[in-house]
Structure 1
Amino acid sequence: MADDTLAHRAQNATTTEAMHLPPTAAPTNHGKTLAAWFTTYGVVITFVIAGLGVLFAQVWLFWVGIGLLALVLVGGKVLQSAGHGQGGDKTRARQARTGGH
């Protein structure tokens, strides 16, 4: 049983932990941006292609999938740099038009 007497509370003062909140609110799109969707679906599709290459023992198909994966990753980074990623200009403009979502 915990000692909850007045004397115990006076000798063992409770301290409150300071909260360090970010300076601004987090984006409301939860990462659902054009760059994120393009990269996610592109990676899934290219892994399916590479997986089919492994499944059917077609080395060329596996390497086509890996090559497309590199292109998808570069394309996602280009979209992010063009403002379609988290915090980008075009993403913020779309949020303003659609009410934050």
Structure 2
Amino acid sequence: MADNTLAHRAQNATTTEAMHLPPMAAPTNHGKTLAAWFTTYGVIIAFTLAGLGVLFALVWLFWVGMALVAAVLIGGKVLQASGHGQGGDKTRARQARTGGH
């Protein structure tokens, strides 16, 4: 009877196994870009304002928060398009200056 345990299969890989590797290495910044930080903190602040509007029954504050969410999302997309996002020119230049972080 053949040894079909996980340890045996790991040590004796067959030649028919396919390797599914990504086409290139992932960026080293792990999403820590200006566009990501701006969008994250902006949405948190905007939703907090909208939540306070709901909590205190201030309809105008709720809608200000919702409008701010939309503005922050658009601003984040603009920052990403201008090179401050993942893989952008300005992000790569900053990584080169700071040693990849």
Give the TM-score range, shorter chain. Answer: 0.7 to 0.9
1:35-50 alignment runs, 5 A limit: 35-50=35-50
The residue aligned with 1:18 is 18
CA shift for structure 1 position 23: 2.3
Unaligned runs of 5+ in 2: 4-12
CA shift for structure 1 position 3: 4.6
Q: State the percentage of identical aligned residues.
A: 82
**More off after superposition, 21-30 vs 49-58:** 21-30
What is the alpha-carbon distance in structure 2 between the residues aligned to residue 62 and residue 70 of structure 1? 13
CA shift for structure 1 position 20: 1.9
The residue type paired with residue 74 of structure 2 is V
1:43-58 alignment runs, 5 A limit: 43-58=43-58
The residue type paired with residue 56 of structure 2 is F
So what's the TM-score if we normalise by structure 1? 0.85
1:1-101 alignment runs, 5 A limit: 3-4=2-3, 15-16=14-15, 17-101=17-101
So what's the TM-score if we normalise by structure 2? 0.85
The residue type paired with residue 24 of structure 1 is M
Bigger radius of gyration among the two: 1
What is the alpha-carbon distance in structure 2 between the residues aligned to residue 78 and residue 47 of structure 1? 20
What is the alpha-carbon distance in structure 2 between the residues aligned to residue 70 and residue 3 of structure 1? 61
